[in-house]
Homo-oligomer: A and B are copies of this chain.
């Protein structure tokens, strides 16, 4: 039996092995991904993001527990830690989570750190999600620490994006929210037993009014290549991101959050946005693969000495990087 078949049959060890292969971007990983691909497209992908200190991890834990106990769903969690490009900084998170969710065969938690290369993390995460999707997990939660490009990538990957906030996190939080809000499908004010929760909620409401969700989906599509955007059914009912309070350490607000997520899924199905997000996600992935393929081909065909000589000229400011890139790209063809 191949590794892919074992995964389709629910073999946990095969799954763990393949996740490692995929994270390392190995040849076996690639082959298995291709075999598994026809079995993907069924899972609900939930992205969870927000600034440090908002209690994201405990929220994700509680949400996973809820889905296990109340809805009997199979849950996968991918905890992405892009702040750790060099070491495996996500290990701690694993240990903390273990206490609540370990031993349950229908929960699979995987932490990963950045591979150090721009774009590599998003690609590796997308691949892991595909493996979990094919393996029959109903809900896949992708959680990221920090605020930045990785959040945008999550928004592209997820069907439902949760942005987590908490009261009293310092002064430049406000600046962050403005951008992050626009990728949110649901806003969670966690640690809602803390003082200042009303202010946080009020600030979020004001900012929500400033954001223009109507434009979002189309900007979502901004990575499309030189093709016309597909004709989509007009979205009849707009989704206004709800604000949900929670105290995740005590499980408060979790059922209500799960309800809001269910309403969002219903909205996506009804409006046709589910299909649109699927398309965008696959388009982003296809483009990333083409980029990578083109670069690999270039490197294979490139003479190391020619590259090194050109780089030396750039360092000495004799040739600009733009000219160097043009010369190297043309040289490859002749």
Q: What is the interface of chain A, defined by CB distance below 8 A to chain B?
A: 30, 33-34, 37-38, 40-41, 51-57, 81-87, 89-90, 92-93, 113-114, 116-119, 121-122, 144-153, 166, 169-176, 178-180, 182-183, 211, 215-216, 219, 222-223, 225-228, 278-279, 282-283, 285-287, 289-291, 293-295, 297-299, 302, 304, 307-308, 310-311, 314-315, 317-318, 320-326, 328-329
Contact = CB atoms under 8 A, between A and B. Distances in A.
A168 B310 CA distance: 49
13 contacts: A37-B320, A41-B317, A52-B175, A81-B175, A83-B178, A86-B182, A87-B179, A114-B149, A118-B149, A145-B147, A147-B148, A225-B304, A286-B324
Contact of A149 (B150, B172, B290): B150
Nearest to A93: B175
Contacts of A322: 30, 33-34, 37, 289
B89 A52 contact: no
Task: Indicate how many identical chains form the complex.
Answer: 2
Nearest to A300: B226
A86 B216 contact: yes
Contact of A92 (B93, B114, B175): B175
Contact of A169 (B53, B179, B324): B53
A90 to B, nearest CB: 8
Chain A interface, DSSP helix/strand/loop, else mixed:
helix
A328 B290 contact: yes
Nearest to A180: B83
Given A116-B219, A320-B37, A228 B53 contact: no
A226 B81 CA distance: 28
A150 B151 CA distance: 12
Given A86-B219, A286-B310, 17 more contacts: A37-B322, A41-B317, A53-B172, A83-B175, A87-B178, A87-B211, A113-B179, A119-B119, A121-B149, A146-B148, A146-B176, A226-B307, A227-B304, A278-B315, A282-B321, A291-B294, A294-B294
B169 A83 contact: no
Contact of A114 (B83, B93, B152, B172): B152
A286 B314 CA distance: 9
A326 B294 CA distance: 10
B86 A179 contact: yes
Contacts of A307: 225-227
